[in-house]
Amino acid sequence: MEWIGVSSNDELYKITINNAHAYFRNLYPNENFNKIYKYNLSGNIENIASINTPDNIYQLRASLGARVLKELPTICPKIPEEFKNVLPVNGTNSIVKILIKAPLAVALSISGKDNSIWNSEADTIRRNIQYCQEIKAEWYSKAICYCLSKL
């Protein structure tokens, strides 16, 4: 916490950590976002069971419904080749590929391995990532945790 100047004052440190935790808890009520918050502080995250199973993808697709599936954004983040195997897009999940690629791109950014979603020409990509977060926050946050555990 040196970067915000609270390392020498224990009381200020506790207040800062508690406020940051409260902010993330209120902003993203899912437990997985708390895991991401802790990852940001420590660089560690617990291993998460695979989420890219046919059953999980089926449940994801079913929960969205036909209309939403048809209207999912098609412009996805570009994933560097060496990370595509973390959460691969395949025949089973290609219809929801934005929901596969968006959390992986965010996890790559959080981990500092790829920051291409912050390029000046990536506005549409960032909007599509935000859309993924809004329509399936639980899936999105769990997928980020899974990806962070595999990076």
Query: Average pLDDT over the chain, rounded to whole?
Result: 84
pLDDT surpasses 50 at 1? no
At residue 7, the 3 state secondary structure works out as coil
131 lies in the same domain as 59: yes
State the total domains in the chain: 2
Residue 15, pLDDT above cutoff 60 = yes
Q: Would you place residue 14 in the very low, low, confident or very high pLDDT band (cuts 50, 70, 90)? A: confident
**Does one domain contain both 146 and 108?**
yes
**Domain carrying residue 27:** 1-44
Q: pTM, whole model, 2 decimals?
A: 0.75
- Give the residue, 9 or 80, on which the prediction is more confident: 80
26-61 in b/e burial notation, b at 16+ Cβ within 10 A? Answer: eebebebbbbbbebeeeeebeebeebbeeebbeebb
